[in-house]
Chain A
Amino acid sequence: MKTKKILMRVFQNAIAWIVSLIVLIPLVVIFISSFKTAAESYTLNLELPKKLILENYSVVIEKGKLLGSFINSFIYASTSTLLIVFLATMAAFVLARNKSKMNRFIYYFLVLGIAMPVNYISLMKVMQFTHLINTRIGIVLIYAAFALPISIFIAYGFIDTIPRELDEAAIIDGCTPESLYFKVIFPLLKPIIATLFVLNFMSTWNDFTMSIYFLNESSKWPMTLAVYNFFGQFSTQWNLVCADIVLTCIPVLIVFILGQKYIVTGMTSGSVKE
């Protein structure tokens, strides 16, 4: 019985290492190659570079126009996330608190959007009509709009757990709906706001589909599209492409490491019963 248990532990740990290596190796290969010369990185392997070529990074920032696209990505991700945090929590607040027939309908109407695929071509028509196509504001609004359903769903579940007596006490004390929301409820939403922030920042930062459909000036491109374009031009110089990949990943990795625990909360809300 005991040997069987030990064998099971060894087997478990061996599988864990194999799976982890399958995930890690491709990423390590890319990371190592970003410090090599063009000749060394011609074939992608796990050999360490003979000399660290840090210039790859400065070359890429300059040739790949990374500074501009970094600023674009940052604007798109942060403003759309800010918009989502306010719009989604405010909507979820009234919909979760006042469950009238009408509000229930609105809630289901909004949440239905989680499963709905985007119709890009007719969305382009709407963007043209509203003069939002090819503008920074337009792309920010698109990211915000498509992230609303899941964000409202997450916030709704959380607001349901905040006791209603708080609202009543605040109203008796003379709070207006606005001060009730901003002074009483909003501070209590901190954990869920962190979740919304992390999830939306990462998904907007990582997206490039919306930009290939709706942004046709390279000066407005986010980092993802800039990398893709760079790969098209320098696809044989893997040292540069790898450096570009690493630079694009750094911001999301920072957000991921800082916000780890909030990611799991967000992903499991709704699907795991506490």
Chain B
Amino acid sequence: MDRNKTYPWYFASGALVLFFILCFIPSVIGIFYSFTDWNSFTDKVNFIGLDNFKEIFVKDKTYLTFIGNTVYFTIFTTAIKTILGLVFALLFTRGIKLANFHRMVIFSPQVLSYLIVGLVFKGILHPTTGFLNIFFNNVGLGFLAHDWLGNIHYAFNSVMFVDSWKGVGYGMVIFIAGIQGISESYYEAADMDGASFMQKTFKITLPLLMPTLIMTTVLNVTYGLRVFDIIYVLTNGGPGYATDVMNTAVFKEFSRGNYAVGTALSTLLAVFTMAISYFILKGLNKKEEY
């Protein structure tokens, strides 16, 4: 059987062409445009070398804030989603009444749009008319009521909370599937040796869950680095620049017509994301060999 004849190349051509034109080409010309002064005011595009990157890293300190915020957001939301997802998965796999109900409820925000979740929490977290502050006032915890999205000290944490509220069920469901895939015989053997719940968790469940853990970490990290929707809806980067991240900055440059600076930021983000995913996945392969 001639493989090239049975599996003709043109079956893949549709996908390849579409991906090449709309995903690959923009990334490549994006690198080129990062070194120009491309903007919406003139048709002329001039090569200006590293000026955009100088602007981002040296001249204008606000860009460094956006990069810092992006990294901070990524680390914290990934940690919260992974740790809580894992804890919930461990707690809710065995011995829970209505386990399917709880799992479905905790997973459900995952299927809603970020825009919808953002609007819901704009209502819930409103300083005077929102559910949360009214609840605190009614139960005598009025001192806990804050302007969650408008106060510079709380805005970023509120945004990260909402994002984790939506995302934690995803990790939980994947971890539950992973735990259920572990053979019961390991636990039976451990029980015979008198192992405790903690010992079983750390010596059996977690090591065997490692590939799943690393994969979800990659997904959460790549999501965190390119976050846009939830921040755009909740705070649009405010108050001030308190919650601005790279992709909200890209949108602002786009709206102002500063295309070149926007593409430079996007290019930086792409390089950064690819590098990090590469190192995490490389770590995964090493672990598997051992």
Q: Contact residues of A with B, CB < 8 Å?
A: 8-9, 12-13, 15-17, 19-20, 22-27, 29-30, 33, 42-46, 86-88, 90-91, 93-95, 97-98, 100, 103, 106, 109-110, 112-126, 130, 141-142, 144-146, 148-149, 152, 167-168, 171, 177, 180-181, 202, 205-209, 212-213, 224, 227-228, 231, 238, 241-242, 245, 248-249, 252-253, 255-256, 260, 263-264, 267-268, 270-274
**Min CB–CB distance A232 → chain B (angstroms):** 11
B269 and A117: CB pair below 8 A? yes
Tell which of B29, B104, B119, B216 touches A245, judged by Cβ atoms closer than 8 Å. Answer: B119
B95 and A12: CB pair below 8 A? yes
B15 and A208: CB pair below 8 A? no
Given contacts A13-B97, A94-B11, A120-B254, contact A30 B266 (CB under 8 A): no
B29 and A273: CB pair below 8 A? no
Query: Which residues of B (167-204) have their CB < 8 Å from a CB of A?
Result: 169-170, 173-174, 177-178, 181, 197
Question: For residue A270, which residues in chain B have a CB less than 8 angstroms away from its CB?
Answer: 215
A117 and B212: CB pair below 8 A? no
Bound together, the chains give a CA A118 to CA B246 distance in angstroms of: 12
B131 and A93: CB pair below 8 A? no
A94 and B112: CB pair below 8 A? no
B263 and A146: CB pair below 8 A? no
CB closest residue in chain A, given B121: A26
Report, as a range, how many residues of chain B touch the other chain: 35 or more
Given contacts A20-B106, A87-B15, A116-B23, contact A27 B270 (CB under 8 A): no
Query: Which residues of B (130-170) have their CB < 8 Å from a CB of A?
Result: 130-131, 134-135, 165, 169-170
CB closest residue in chain A, given B211: A273
Query: Which residues of B (1-33) have their CB < 8 Å from a CB of A?
Result: 1, 3-9, 11-12, 14-16, 18-19, 21-27, 29-30, 33
Question: For residue B178, which residues in chain A have a CB less than 8 angstroms away from its CB?
Answer: 268, 271-272
A272 and B97: CB pair below 8 A? no
B244-255 interface bits toward A, Cβ cutoff 8 Å, 1 = contact, 0 = none: 000100110110
Question: For residue A113, which residues in chain B have a CB less than 8 angstroms away from its CB?
Answer: 19, 23-24
Give 29 pairs: A residue, B residue, CB < 8 Å, sorted on A: A16-B91, A16-B96, A23-B109, A27-B120, A42-B129, A91-B16, A98-B4, A117-B222, A117-B266, A117-B273, A119-B30, A120-B250, A120-B266, A121-B253, A121-B259, A121-B263, A126-B29, A145-B23, A167-B6, A171-B1, A208-B229, A209-B229, A242-B123, A249-B113, A252-B112, A256-B111, A268-B173, A268-B177, A271-B178
Question: For residue A242, which residues in chain B have a CB less than 8 angstroms away from its CB?
Answer: 123
Is residue B102 contacting chain A, with contact meaning CB distance below 8 A?
yes
**Min CB–CB distance A36 → chain B (angstroms):** 13
Given contacts A20-B102, A119-B30, A227-B115, contact A181 B226 (CB under 8 A): no
**Min CB–CB distance B65 → chain A (angstroms):** 19
Interface majority SS (helix, strand, loop, mixed), chain B? helix
Q: Contact residues of B with A, CB < 8 Å?
A: 1, 3-9, 11-12, 14-16, 18-19, 21-27, 29-30, 33, 88, 91-92, 95-99, 101-102, 104-106, 108-109, 111-116, 119-124, 126, 128-131, 134-135, 165, 169-170, 173-174, 177-178, 181, 197, 211-212, 215-216, 218-219, 222, 225-226, 228-229, 233, 247, 250-251, 253-254, 259, 262-263, 266-267, 269-270, 273-274, 277
CB closest residue in chain B, given A253: B111
Question: For residue A130, which residues in chain B have a CB less than 8 angstroms away from its CB?
Answer: 21
CB closest residue in chain A, given B12: A91
B6 and A23: CB pair below 8 A? no
Tell which of B4, B16, B88 touches A106, judged by Cβ atoms closer than 8 Å. Answer: B16
A23 and B108: CB pair below 8 A? yes
Bound together, the chains give a CA A208 to CA B134 distance in angstroms of: 31
Bound together, the chains give a CA A8 to CA B92 distance in angstroms of: 12
The 9 closest A-B pairs by CB, nearest first: A206-B113, A271-B215, A145-B22, A122-B30, A119-B30, A91-B15, A91-B12, A123-B26, A94-B7
Question: For residue B106, which residues in chain A have a CB less than 8 angstroms away from its CB?
Answer: 19-20, 23
Given contacts A26-B121, A106-B16, A148-B18, contact A116 B27 (CB under 8 A): yes
B174 and A267: CB pair below 8 A? yes
Question: For residue A87, which residues in chain B have a CB less than 8 angstroms away from its CB?
Answer: 14-15, 18
A224 and B266: CB pair below 8 A? no
9 extra interchain contacts, Cβ-Cβ under 8 A, other than A9-B95, A206-B113? A12-B91, A13-B97, A109-B24, A115-B222, A120-B266, A177-B8, A224-B116, A263-B111, A267-B170
Question: For residue A112, which residues in chain B have a CB less than 8 angstroms away from its CB?
Answer: 274
CB closest residue in chain B, given A122: B30
